[in-house]
Chains A and B, each alone.
Chain A
Amino acid sequence: EVQLVESGGGLIQPGGSLRLSCAASGFTVSNNHMNWVRQAPGKGLEWVSVIYSGGNTYYADSVKGRFTISRDNSKNTLSVQMNSLRAEDTAVYYCAREVVDVMTVDWYFDLWGRGTLVTVSS
């Protein structure tokens, strides 16, 4: 079955660090464009970061310099290292696969995990 399963969320104090993981099954992470998208409680979706199949990485301004996206090819997992956490980082974090329609060059998130909740609070 093709799926994504996030883990690693929890309660963390402001200024702390946390590492989230996303285990993929049914496809190869390194051959795909993988993203983190978050959703604060009761709020909308916010794109966080992407690692393209070629290895390039990009970040939202809100997390740049604090978050680092990576992948482990041997474990077929996606990760994000989150440092200097702030209250405003509190959210459900989703990993999502982004694919490209080769005919139309349209991009879209076709596969999402169920998310893992990160709560930053003292």
Chain B
Amino acid sequence: EIVMTQSPATLSVSPGERATVSCRASQSISSNLAWYQQKPGQAPRLLIYGASTRATGIPARFSGSGSGTEFTLTISSLQSEDFAVYYCQQYNNWLRTFGQGTKVEIK
């Protein structure tokens, strides 16, 4: 099983500031990584796939980077609707695994 480790667990950011979430894979997964956003009481929402491709309708302030074992999700200027929990997920093999989540909260 590929273990995905996110950091930090919680990120306190002021509106308008940049937020950066990291995700590390226990072995190389090439660019086989997606990012999801989840708000309380809602299902996850796809943000990024292929480590850096924004899903349809996702604002340009969301960007992803990385390959191999190290990945980053960046939100360039946080809006009020961006405060949520973010998960990375690998699809390098059939056993999909998620990171434990990073909560982005208002500072």
Q: A-side interface residues toward B, CB under 8 Å? A: 35, 44-47, 50, 58, 60-61, 94, 96, 101, 104, 106-110, 112-115
Contacts and interface: CB of A to CB of B under 8 A. Distances in A.
Contacts of B99: 44
Given A44-B87, A94-B43, A101 B49 contact: yes
B95 A47 contact: yes
B91 A107 contact: yes
B43 A114 contact: yes
B6 to A, nearest CB: 9
A67 B44 CA distance: 23
B98 A106 contact: no
A45 B78 CA distance: 24
Given A109-B34, A112-B43, A47 B50 contact: no
A47 B97 CA distance: 6
Q: Which 4 A-B pairs have the closest CB atoms?
A: A112-B43, A108-B49, A106-B50, A47-B96
Interface of B: 1, 31-32, 34, 36, 38, 42-46, 49-50, 53, 55, 87, 89, 91, 94-101
6 contacts: A45-B36, A45-B44, A104-B53, A109-B44, A112-B44, A114-B43
Contacts of B95: 47, 58, 60
Nearest to B100: A44
Contacts of B98: 44-47
Given A44-B100, A94-B43, A108-B91, 7 more contacts: A45-B98, A104-B50, A106-B32, A106-B49, A107-B34, A109-B34, A112-B44
B43 A107 contact: no
